[in-house]
Chains A and B, each alone.
Chain A
Amino acid sequence: MSRRVVAHPILGDLIEEEVIEFEFEGLKLKALKSDTIASALISNGIDIFGFSESGKPKGFFCAIGKCSSCLVVVDGVPNVRACITPVRDGMRVERQKGKGKPVW
């Protein structure tokens, strides 16, 4: 299922843009260049971004960087807010489990 809003009565048709590839939990996924990690995951039908300390599934909530509900691990670095971080070609994204240890 594609969740892209391709045609829109107000915003017009989605302008063709560069498609990039990133990795999520070992899967190769496609995204648009203008996507955040969150929008890229959602457009691929993925709503579970991680798990809480006690194992509850977590997704995004505010989408503007305020609630930290969307934390993921990017290229090995935890606590990245998926909703305000642009996705990049070749990026490796993983679900974060629990708090995630800081990387120095």
Chain B
Amino acid sequence: MVKKVQALVIGAGPAGLCGSIAIAENGVEVLVVDEGLVPGGQLPKQTHKFFGHEGFFASVRGFEIGEKLYNDAVNLGVKFLMKTTVSGIYEDVIVLYDRENERIYEINADYVLIATGASERFISFKKNYLPGVYGAGAVQTLMNQYRVLPGNDFLIVGAGNIGLIVAYQLLQAGANVKAIVEASNKVGGYLVHANKVKRMGVPILLRHTIVEAIGEERVRGAVISEVDDSFNPIKGTEKELAVDTICLAVGLQPSIELAAQAGAEIKYIPELGGYVPIRDENMKTTVDNVYIAGDLASIEEASTAMIEGYIAGYNIAQKITGLDLSENISKMKKELEEFRRGPFSGKVRKGLKKFGVEFPEGGFRTEPQKDEGPAGKLRVKIECPQNIPCNPCETSCPTGAIDVGGNINGLPYVDYDKCIGCGVCVMKCPGLAIFLVQELSDYSIVGIPYEFELPEKGEKVLLLDRNGEIVGEGEIEKIVRNSKGKTHIVYLKVPKGLEDNVRHFVRHEEKEEEIVCRCEEITRSEIEKAIEEGYTDFEELRRYLRISMGPCGGRVCRLQTLSIISLKTGIPISELESGRFRPPSIPIPFKAILKGDEKDEI
């Protein structure tokens, strides 16, 4: 028997869930069908905090947004059929296949909202079929939903938001990310996302691509190479990377099959992700009772998917009930307009214009703040240089010290008189782009947002700069745990003058904790004692302790030693004598030196 529903929603991602909520809020019965094992679409595999504003769950982690929306929908009486694929939309009937019970259902619906999202693109390179070449979303699904890592050492292809986020999530799951390659000459994703992985030492190689996967049965490595202006690999620039997994994050394409079957007109609009159904500003396709929302309509992000879901849902509810929902609809349209004003929506604006749906641009602050605030005061340092639709910094600050200047795409400014250094914004910022700094007389404090296993108070750590380079050694001064939000703040004691460089740290390995100079096995306390005895100069310490006289030539211990001197004496590293750099800088066997005598050519 053909069952009949008033409204059918296909896809339980953010777009479908919000659509179903908007419809059910108005007393209409809704059935949501999704082929996944759990509702939420892309959300359950997202462990990072989303951008946007609080009204659409900014600062909340993706999987929590999914749970929240699903519960809201269930509470409104929305019915869900999971593990069920909509396998065809015919003129008179819609066919569902229930995988678990191995059953076919036929249903009819007065209105259909299609929110099937998108699928991942594939690219061609030699041996791309090998096991070990996986889509970015697949890697996320496995590690975050099923808690298994499909490898240890990853190469990521694509530095859009997805590639950058997957890299960060891999680091959180304990994997190594050897590199991110990106064919274009700039990072396509948000810089705040890129900065999170850069400061942990993950190289982002621009103008690079993958040319070959190495291995017979599975991936054992990858060959990357530079590309020219037309993205063709340049011969002779190939490099081999020892990785066991290649993760493709090269874009998404809308899943249009069902919309096409429903008779909606499809057009090729590359700015929107490829073939997309044409729709009007109410998300209605060219078929009267078929609406779309989310990534299916244009590859974008979760906040806009949610808003589009609401717009489609309210329109459907209005048609079914005859109620006037124009107020709800125009409120959501206004939201969408505000979100889409920024530069990252440029493509979508251009694409939508092709079928007459126009969105205004601009109207937000683009000039970064120059004032860095009064030195010596504990205050925030915001490193969020792009116009992205995001404002939790503004809305979370209890003293109202931050504002993004009206439109959500504006750059944040700090009122340093109002900032009390409480750190709330540091924990809330989804870009992990807010730091705390304070210059003290003997050392400086840097507070960093931290989402990894916490170090111990008092622990000595290696300090990393924005590119993940070791710039010195510091100490964990204080840790403020955030058990709910999971973005903790780690306050580091850093040598004076490094407060503007240090943006991350690594822990010494347990065993080597106290050893500063590995070659000569000199410990921190020996160095500290020597400084107390009056050896406050690197050269003096070297002669006294034999520090940095070993085969590494001081590579490992020089900065650490300088940091210890700086922390103990309060003199910035830049003002300390760095000691002489003696050749040879690496150990050279005598044989090589003798050979060098024989022949003079290289």
Which residues of A come within 8 Å of B, CB atoms?
Answer: 3-11, 14, 34-36, 38-39, 42-43, 47-49, 52, 56-67, 83-86
Contacts and interface: CB of A to CB of B under 8 A. Distances in A.
A52 B132 CA distance: 16
B174 interface: yes
B99 A3 contact: no
B150 interface: yes
A9 B451 contact: yes
Given A10-B61, A11-B144, A39-B142, A61 B134 contact: yes
B134 A84 contact: no
Contact of A62 (B138, B147, B173, B218): B138
B138 A47 contact: no
B102 to A, nearest CB: 11
Nearest to B41: A64
Which of A9, A36, A83 gathers most chain B CB within 10 Å? A9
Nearest to A84: B37
Which of A10, A47, A59, A62 gathers most chain B CB within 10 Å? A10
Contacts of B91: none
A71 B139 CA distance: 18
12 contacts: A3-B149, A3-B151, A42-B149, A49-B131, A56-B129, A59-B131, A62-B137, A63-B137, A63-B138, A64-B137, A64-B138, A65-B35
A36 B37 contact: yes
A8 B37 contact: no
Contact of B172 (A10, A34, A49, A83): A10
Nearest to A60: B138
B509 to A, nearest CB: 17
B452 A60 contact: no
A23 B298 CA distance: 43
Given A7-B174, A9-B172, 6 more contacts: A3-B150, A8-B173, A10-B172, A47-B150, A60-B138, A63-B135
A8 B61 CA distance: 14
B245 to A, nearest CB: 9
A57 B131 contact: yes
Contacts of B133: 59, 61
Contacts of A85: 99
Given A60-B134, A61-B138, A42 B150 contact: yes
Nearest to B47: A10
B203 interface: no
Given A10-B47, A61-B133, A65-B35, A5 B148 contact: yes
Contact of B131 (A6, A39, A58): A58
The 3 tightest CB contacts between A and B, nearest first, are A59-B131, A63-B138, A39-B146
Contacts of A56: 129
Interface of B: 35-37, 47, 61, 83, 85, 99, 119-120, 122, 129-135, 137-139, 141-144, 146-151, 172-174, 217-218, 255, 451-453, 486
Which of A4, A56, A63, A67 gathers most chain B CB within 10 Å? A63
Contacts of A62: 119-120, 135, 137-138
A66 B451 CA distance: 32
Contacts of B452: 9
A5 B174 contact: yes
Contacts of B451: 9-10
A16 B217 CA distance: 33
Given A8-B172, A60-B134, A66 B37 contact: no
Contacts of A6: 147
A7 B453 contact: yes
Given A3-B150, A5-B174, A36-B146, A47 B137 contact: no
A59 B146 contact: no
Given A63-B137, A64-B36, A5 B173 contact: yes
A7 B149 CA distance: 12
A66 B254 CA distance: 12
Contacts of A57: 129-131, 217-218
B241 to A, nearest CB: 18
A3 B174 CA distance: 10
B131 A66 contact: no
B148 A61 contact: no
Given A39-B146, A42-B142, A86 B129 contact: no
Contacts of B148: 3-5, 39, 42-43
A69 B242 CA distance: 25
A23 B441 CA distance: 66
Contacts of B453: 7, 9
Contacts of B486: 9-10
B146 A35 contact: yes
A63 B139 CA distance: 8
B218 A59 contact: yes
A61 B172 contact: no
Given A3-B148, A38-B142, A39-B148, A47 B37 contact: no
A86 B300 CA distance: 31
Nearest to A44: B148
A86 B36 CA distance: 11
Nearest to B245: A47
Nearest to A59: B131
Given A10-B172, A47-B218, A64-B36, A5 B143 contact: yes
A8 B150 CA distance: 16
Contact of B147 (A4, A9, A67): A4
A41 to B, nearest CB: 9
A66 B122 CA distance: 12
